[in-house]
């Protein structure tokens, strides 16, 4: 079933309110149907066919949502990109995804046009934060009715990239079936209904904001307060009219840092959900004391959507991500894929209709990340309690999650190692009260040379998105290694975890 058709079938009619944006504009589900039909008709008119990729790097706006829904209706593969990605990063994405259309902000049109020429992309359109640009100028005259294209559950609906530990980003293929199954489960488990209003302050280039948050709304008939980004003042203003909020830990720590945030602001709220990064136990405690609400923490990945969740009714246990969702099977295994006894720490493996079928054009990597019996190897180290609660205790792949965004160390290490005066480097995550983790770099200079912290940061910033730039840079004469020669990143985290600045 086409994901758009699934949303329609599960929520009922299109009469209700869908969203109110920060400027006060309101849109109904019927509006979404009309505008997305125009987009779908326009894209088909450009020659795009089911399965073609549409690469999108634009700011969050209601028009972004019409574009997303229009792509689904036309059977196209939606490929969202972080707005912070640099020209070099974009060059790779366009070359690998081979889209038939790129949609970018008008301010980036000239630079993107050059990249599209190099990558052989046939179509380029613009979409600005205010909804203007060539995309809707063209789609504005298209028909307001469109027969949604039938798709199989195994057909790809979205292509979302997650940088690999080798430094090469991997395209994660998410099917209509994956996204529909997860949305339906979350609506039931989190109690979503047409009476809910979600405060949506998440980015929409990420699975959390695009599929988890939107899926719960679109599959239940709920409405949204649609904020372009998280902002404390705007969030405090929107909370009284909302019933649910989804956020990353940074959202909640910043709210707690504001004295205006108290139980009275949350009087209409029924649920706060946190994900994309671990929530500190002390944040749980302080939030409950301030508001009377226990944050519901859950666990998911780009490759799988949501896998586990603390219960809506029942104990929301701080430090855990709850039991597996009803249609998800989880297990903890050793390096040989043998399931470990309850309570022991090993690699968390998952299986279910939410789990992606594989990586785009990387069959060998796909085979490597799945067990012979079909479980996905998450790379996360975890334990499971006797009553089924999962605790994530570490990441075997050393990924850094900063403000809910994933940073893969190898990608940044390759950039740093190529900078003048650098012999080698190691990138690690260190605790950060605001972002959960910060990106930190440990650099070994070449003999007789000493690059500055600023040079390292500027060098990374020239080639990678801002959130990937190390907040701290440390220098050592050599990196600690084990007997096999592998860098001991755990030792580096111990060494610099309490440091207040560059060394």
Q: How confident is the model at residue 225 (pLDDT cuts 50, 70, 90)?
A: very high
Give the pLDDT of residue 497. 86
Give the pLDDT of residue 282. 81
Q: How confident is the model at residue 164 (pLDDT cuts 50, 70, 90)?
A: very low
The residue among 231, 290, 285, 230 whose CA lies nearest residue 260 is 290
Calculate mean pLDDT across residues 463-481. Answer: 94
Give the pLDDT of residue 499. 59
Instruction: Count how many Cα atoms sit within 13 Å of the Cα of residue 117 in the half-sphere of its side chain.
Output: 6
Question: Is 90 exceeded by the pLDDT of residue 414?
Answer: no
Q: How confident is the model at residue 396 (pLDDT cuts 50, 70, 90)?
A: low
Residue 45 maps to a domain: no
C-alpha distances in Å from residue 374, one per residue of 114, 241, 325, 350, 357: 42, 44, 18, 9, 10
Q: How confident is the model at residue 501 (pLDDT cuts 50, 70, 90)?
A: very low
Calculate mean pLDDT across residues 80-89. Answer: 92
Give the pLDDT of residue 503. 47
pLDDT in tens, 136-161: 999 999 999 999 999 999 999 999 99
Question: Is 60 exceeded by the pLDDT of residue 500?
Answer: no
Residue 470 maps to a domain: yes
Contact assessment for residue 474 and residue 442, using Cβ atoms and an 8 Å cutoff: yes
pLDDT in tens, 95-130: 999 999 999 999 999 999 999 999 999 999 999 999
- Checking 136-144 for CB contacts under 8 A at 24+ apart, the result is 136/63, 138/42, 139/38, 139/39, 139/41, 139/42, 139/70, 140/38, 142/37, 142/38, 142/39, 142/41, 142/42, 142/45, 143/37, 143/38, 143/41, 144/34, 144/37, 144/38
Residue 432 maps to a domain: yes
Give the pLDDT of residue 163. 57
Contact assessment for residue 466 and residue 458, using Cβ atoms and an 8 Å cutoff: no
Give the pLDDT of residue 12. 78
Question: Is 80 exceeded by the pLDDT of residue 485?
Answer: no
Give the pLDDT of residue 187. 98
Give the pLDDT of residue 276. 79
CATH code for the domain of 485: 3.30.300.30
Question: Is 50 exceeded by the pLDDT of residue 270?
Answer: yes
Residue 50 maps to a domain: no
Give the pLDDT of residue 483. 54
Residue 279 maps to a domain: no
Alpha-carbon distance of 156 to 2, in angstroms, equals: 10
Give the pLDDT of residue 397. 64
Give the pLDDT of residue 31. 97
Q: Which two tokens stand for residue 137?
A: 């100028």
The residue among 237, 235, 268 whose CA lies nearest residue 253 is 235
Residue 415 maps to a domain: yes
Residues near 300 by beta carbon (within 8 Å), at least 6 away in sequence: 207, 208, 212, 275, 306, 307
Residue 74 maps to a domain: no
- Tell me phi and psi for residue 21, to 5 degrees: -90, 180
pLDDT in tens, 46-77: 999 999 999 999 999 999 999 999 999 999 99
Contact assessment for residue 264 and residue 292, using Cβ atoms and an 8 Å cutoff: no
pLDDT in tens, 341-375: 999 989 999 999 999 999 999 999 999 999 999 99
Mean pLDDT of the chain: 93
Give the pLDDT of residue 64. 98
Helix axes 453-461, 409-417, angle to 10 degrees: 120
Give the pLDDT of residue 261. 97
Helix axes 87-97, 109-119, angle to 10 degrees: 40
Q: Which domain holds residue 431?
A: 400-496
Give the pLDDT of residue 14. 80
Question: Is 50 exceeded by the pLDDT of residue 165?
Answer: no
Residue 194 maps to a domain: no
Place of tokens 């298209």: 142
How many separate domains does the chain show? 1
């Amino acid at each position: 079933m086409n994901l758009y058709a699934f949303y329609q079938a599960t929520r009922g009619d299109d009469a209700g309110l869908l969203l109110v944006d920060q400027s006060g504009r309101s849109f109904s589900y019927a509006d979404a149907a009309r505008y997305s039909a125009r987009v779908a008709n326009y894209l088909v008119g450009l020659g795009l066919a089911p399965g073609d990729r549409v690469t999108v790097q634009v700011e969050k706006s209601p028009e972004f949502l019409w574009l997303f829904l229009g792509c689904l209706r036309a059977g196209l593969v939606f490929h969202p990109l972080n707005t912070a990605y640099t020209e070099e990063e974009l060059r790779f994405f366009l070359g690998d995804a081979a889209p038939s259309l790129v949609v970018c902000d008008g301010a980036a049109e000239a630079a993107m046009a050059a990249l599209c020429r190099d990558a052989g992309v046939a179509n380029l359109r613009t979409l600005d934060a205010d909804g203007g640009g060539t995309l809707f100028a063209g789609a504005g005259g298209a028909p307001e009715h469109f027969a949604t294209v039938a798709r199989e559950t195994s057909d790809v609906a979205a292509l979302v990239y997650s940088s690999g530990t080798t430094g090469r980003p991997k395209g994660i293929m998410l099917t209509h079936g994956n996204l529909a199954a997860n949305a339906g489960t979350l609506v039931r488990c989190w109690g979503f209904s047409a009476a809910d209003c979600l405060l949506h302050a998440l980015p929409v280039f990420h699975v959390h904001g695009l599929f988890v948050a939107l899926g719960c709304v679109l599959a239940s008939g709920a409405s949204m307060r649609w904020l372009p980004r998280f902002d404390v003042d705007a969030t405090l203003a929107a909370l009284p009219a909302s019933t649910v909020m989804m956020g990353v830990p940074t959202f909640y720590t910043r709210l707690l840092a504001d004295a205006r945030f108290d139980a009275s602001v949350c009087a209409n709220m029924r649920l706060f959900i946190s994900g994309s990064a671990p929530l500190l136990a002390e944040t749980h405690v302080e939030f409950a004391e301030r508001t009377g609400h226990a944050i519901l923490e859950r666990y998911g990945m780009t490759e799988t959507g949501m896998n586990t969740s603390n219960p809506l009714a029942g104990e929301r246990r701080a430090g855990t991500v709850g039991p597996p969702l009803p249609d998800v099977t989880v297990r903890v295994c050793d390096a040989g894929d043998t399931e470990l006894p309850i309570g022991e720490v090993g690699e968390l493996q998952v299986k279910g209709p939410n789990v992606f079928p594989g990586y785009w054009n990387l069959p060998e990597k796909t085979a490597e990340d799945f067990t012979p019996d079909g479980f996905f190897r998450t790379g996360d180290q975890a334990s499971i309690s006797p009553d089924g609660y999962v605790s994530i205790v570490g990441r075997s792949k050393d990924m850094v999650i900063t403000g809910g965004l994933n940073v893969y160390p190898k990608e940044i290490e390759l950039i740093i190692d190529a900078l003048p005066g650098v012999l080698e480097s190691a990138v690690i995550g260190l605790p950060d009260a605001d972002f959960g983790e910060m990106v930190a770099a440990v650099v070994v200079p070449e003999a007789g040379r000493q690059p500055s912290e600023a040079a390292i940061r500027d060098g990374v910033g020239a080639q990678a998105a801002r959130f990937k730039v190390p907040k701290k840079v440390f220098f050592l004469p050599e990196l600690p290694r084990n007997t096999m020669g592998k860098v001991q990143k755990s030792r580096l985290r111990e060494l610099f975890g309490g440091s207040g600045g560059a060394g």
